Amino acid sequence: MDQKTTGELMQVLNHLSDQSELTDYLDELGEPLADAFLPYYNALPQVQSLSKTQLLQMSGLNKTTFYHIMNGNRQPGRDHIIALCLAAGLTISETQRALELTKQGILYSKNRRDAILIFCINRRITNHMDVNELLDQFGENLLVEEKG
């Protein structure tokens, strides 16, 4: 099913006639894509050009959380993904793809907080402190509040 578009999959899904066909569809669909984040993220040249220490410092994530995510022991949440993408200086399309792979909501331009995050991505504001300062300035929840 990986080669079918979302539209094609929707057509298949719309024509399922019973639970048995749904079971077959889900089996063929496979496991959630959340496990695809780490290989995707680590394969990006921007990520490969930075050390783990640099990514940790720029992301602002708690050290334990960061290493659990990077070792595949913990699935990252939406804000963790955004923080890691910002830290690596990823583009908006690369960040959106990372969010899609984890079935997290993509950044939405009509959402105030997301608009600020999109601005940071587009302006290459990569340090979590600068991102949080901007979010705070506009009265939005901080991206990363962890320390350590």
Angle at 83 between CA 97 and CA 77, to 5 degrees: 70
Residue 127 has pLDDT above 60, yes or no: yes
C-alpha span between 38 and 101 (Å, rounded):
10
Q: What is the pLDDT of residues 56-67, one digit of tens each?
A: 999 999 999 999
Q: Provide the whole-model pTM.
A: 0.79
Residue 147 has pLDDT above 60, yes or no: no
- Among 38-47, 53-62, 97-106, 131-140, the minimum mean pLDDT is found in 97-106
Looking at every residue in the chain, the average pLDDT score rounds to: 89
- DSSP-derived letter for residue 35 is G
pLDDT at 9 (0 to 100): 83
C-alpha span between 107 and 143 (Å, rounded):
13
DSSP secondary structure of 86-145: HHHT--HHHHHHHHHHTTPPPP-TTSHHHHHHHHHHHTT---HHHHHHHHHHTTPPPS--
Q: What share of the chain is helix, strand, coil (3-state, %, to 5)?
A: 65, 0, 35
Domain ranges of the chain: 1-30, 33-137
